[in-house]
Every structure is written in C-alpha cells, then in structure tokens.
Amino acid sequence: MSALVARLIGHVLLRGDACNSELRNSSRAGRFRERNGAPDQAIVTASALDEQWRTSCANFTLSRETSASFSAFHFHSPNLVCRESGRPTPSSGRNLYHVEPFARIRRMRPSLTFSISLIIAANLHTAIAQSSPTPAPVTLRSLLLSELHSTHDKAEWFTPADAAVAGLTAEQAKWVPQNAQGKIDSSANHSVGMLAYHLVFWNENALARLRGEKPATPGNNDETFNDFDAAHWDQIVQRLDRVMTDLEAAVEKMPEEKLALKAPLISHISTHNAYHTGQILYVRKLQGSWNPENGVK
C-alpha cells in the first residue's frame, strides 16, 4: 500500500511540473490588456495588485483574450484601470504580475486531495489491521468443536440445547401436544422431557464409543423417548449439560489420527442435537412456555 501511495504522489508531482511548463508556454498569449466594453471582461481582486491600491480599489476590471487553452495569465500593471477611480494602476517597480503559481495550485488541488485521502485511508487501514487480532486458521478440531458448542451452550445460528430446556418445570416438561385428530398420542408426539431424555441417551452412547467403550443398544428407539420420568426432570437437564461438556473435552484432547477417523460420528452428534433442539422449541411454543426474547420469535 505504501508503494502505491508513493507512486501516486510521484505522478501528481510530475503532472504538476508538466502543468507549470504548459502554463509558462501559454502565458505570453494570455496577457491581460485593457479592452473596454469587450464581452470577455474579467474581474480580479485588488489583492493580486499593489498594496497601496488595496484600500482604494476593491476590484479591477480587466480584459483578456478568449482562449480555452490559456490556463495561466500574465498582465502588465500599466494597462490595468481601476474601475472606481478610472486611473491606471502604478507598477510599483514591476511590470509583470505572475499568477502562474496560483494557477498551478488550482490545477493540482484535486490530485493532491485525492493523494492525501489515499494516504489517510492507507494509514487507517493499517491501524485497523494492527488492532484487530488475526483469527486462527480453521482446523478439523476447531470446526467440530464449533458445531458441538453451537448445539450446546453457544447461541449463534439457532438456540442451543441448554437454553432450550432452561426454566421449564417438570410438569411443563411432560406436556404432550395433541395430534392432528386433537388427541394426545405420546407414541407419535413427544414432550420436551421425552426429547431431552432421547438426547441424553444418544449423547452418552456416542461418548462411550469415542472412549472405546461398548454401550448397550436399545431394542427399539422408542424406548429412548418413552422411558422419560418427569420426577427426574432436573437430573435429565444436568445430565444433558454434562455429557455435552464431556464430548467437547474429548474432542479437544483427541489425537489427530483418531479425530480424523471419528469426525463423521462427532459431526452427526451435532446435527442430531440441533434437530431435536428445534423440536423442543416447537413444543414449547405450542405449549406457550417459551419466551421469544430468548432467541426464537
């Protein structure tokens, strides 16, 4: 970025020198001379003339040759006439008044402003880059941990499980929504407690497999829902949080080779958790026990 700014500034300075050379070459043809009544009269302020006339003449009426190529002007003071007094202006020992430097500045002003803006922008970009910490590169481990946390205790794209089951009483946890026929059918519809118990069962099962253990497999998946007991609701909430925390710790410490082999299982755990957490929130909204300010409106 610094090299780019340096090249731009050099371009501006070279352009300014070229403009100045052009102004010198064209100045002879652009001299002011008196030509009363001409349609191309111009007014210049008295500050461009002698100090002694600044108090007596506010403006001088001048005439110049009309040409689009004239970018700078030289004029002889004996040919200037004060608009108010009608007298010619004194030369004060000088016959030629150069306004070439002022024309050069006016011509260079947009380029200089652009260059200064680039310098400020470059410095600001550098300051922001230095103040902002560089994010760590994404790895398989960091990706799997991010998925686990997003379904456990870190609200990002959706509400995590710990928030989904928080603030619910045992009585509310066993509420089952009605089916399409207006009847309660726990074999088809599940309560929040049943869904949470199902999550506890399969997360503990997956953790045991990651540890090299052989957990028992249920004869029917319905058992992982129907074995819920509302009397143990608080313990179920605690078990859910503990097993998800243990899964995260296992992934953090797992060797790279084993992590690569178990990555599909770990990713499926997160997907399964997200799926049933969404069901928990849906049941709570049907029940009227969910506060929309907690994440799902």
Domains, the chain, ranges and CATH?
A: 2-131 (no CATH), 140-294 (1.20.120)
Contacts for 34 with CB less than 8 Å, ≥ 6 apart: 62, 63, 79, 80, 81
What is the pLDDT, as a whole number, of residue 34?
A: 41
Residue 114 has pLDDT above 50, yes or no: yes
CB count in 10 Å sphere of residue 35 = 14
Residue 284 has pLDDT above 80, yes or no: yes
| Helices 256-287 & 140-152 angle (0-180, nearest 10) | 20
Residue 208 has pLDDT above 90, yes or no: yes
Q: For residue range 164-204, what is the model confidence (pLDDT) as tens digits?
A: 999 999 999 999 998 888 888 777 799 999 999 999 999 99
Identify which has the larger pLDDT, 148 or 75.
148
Band of residue 161 on the pLDDT scale cut at 50, 70, 90: very high
Band of residue 108 on the pLDDT scale cut at 50, 70, 90: low
Strands 59-63 and 96-98, how do they pair? unpaired
What is the pLDDT, as a whole number, of residue 104?
A: 61
What is the pLDDT, as a whole number, of residue 289?
A: 95
Identify which has the larger pLDDT, 109 or 68.
109
What is the pLDDT, as a whole number, of residue 116?
A: 78
User: Average pLDDT in the 71-94 region?
Assistant: 44
Band of residue 10 on the pLDDT scale cut at 50, 70, 90: low
What is the pLDDT, as a whole number, of residue 282?
A: 95
Lowest mean pLDDT among 42-56, 122-136, 155-169: 42-56
DSSP states of 32-95 as a string? BB--TT-TTEEEEEGGGS-GGGTTT-SEEEEE----TT--S-EEEGGG-EETTT-PBPP-TT-S
**For residue 167, is it left (φ>0), alpha (ψ between -120 and 50) or beta?**
left
**Among 60, 64, 63, residue whose Cα is nearest residue 86:** 60
> One-letter amino acid identity for 272?
H
What is the pLDDT, as a whole number, of residue 38?
A: 43
**Among 175, 209, 199, residue whose Cα is nearest residue 270:** 199
Q: For residue range 215-254, what is the model confidence (pLDDT) as tens digits?
A: 988 889 999 999 999 999 999 999 999 999 999 999 999 9
What is the pLDDT, as a whole number, of residue 93?
A: 43
